[in-house]
């Protein structure tokens, strides 16, 4: 056995098939759109934004690691990315993601 066969899959590798199923379902729905929107809930927006920010920050980290970016710059970039995503969602949907996360965690 080689090293790859002994290594546990990463979290991203474990989620990949699930994300692909979701991606394909959305793609197929949009390709066959006949006027009925999906009717996502506010909670669905919370779930989707969590996925987006997690993947975004992971990809940012990979690039920053490659370019040997200092940790304080990485942290500032991560904070900025989170702030921009929250502002984008708030501006176009009126949803306050930190407040929604707080309510979801209290369930």
Could you count the other beta carbons within 10 Å of the beta carbon of residue 65? 10
Could you count the other beta carbons within 10 Å of the beta carbon of residue 106? 6
DSSP tag of 33: -
Q: What is the rounded average pLDDT for all residues in the chain?
A: 93
**What CA–CA distances, in Å, run from 42 to 18, 93, 95, 100?**
21, 9, 8, 8
H or E segment and range at residue 70:
none
- Report, as ranges of residue numbers, the positions in the chain whose pLDDT lies below 70: 1-6
Q: What would the pLDDT profile of 33-45 be if each residue is shown by its tens digit?
A: 888 889 999 999 9
Task: Parse the chain into domains and list their residue ranges.
Answer: 41-107
Determine the pLDDT at residue 1: 47
* Alpha carbon distance 77, 47 (integer Å): 22
Paired tokens of 7: 């290594």
Determine the pLDDT at residue 107: 87
| Residue whose token pair is 């090293």 | 3
């Amino acid at each position: 056995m080689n090293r790859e066969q002994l290594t546990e899959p990463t979290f991203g590798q474990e989620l990949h098939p699930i994300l692909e199923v979701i991606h394909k379902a959305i793609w197929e729905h949009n390709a066959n759109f006949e006027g009925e929107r999906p009717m996502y809930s506010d909670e669905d927006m919370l779930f989707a934004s969590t996925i987006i920010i997690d993947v975004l920050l992971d990809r940012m980290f990979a690039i920053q690691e490659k370019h040997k970016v200092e940790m304080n710059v990485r942290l500032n970039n991560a904070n900025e990315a989170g702030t921009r995503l929250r502002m984008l969602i708030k501006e176009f949907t009126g949803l306050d993601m930190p407040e929604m996360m707080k309510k979801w965690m209290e369930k």
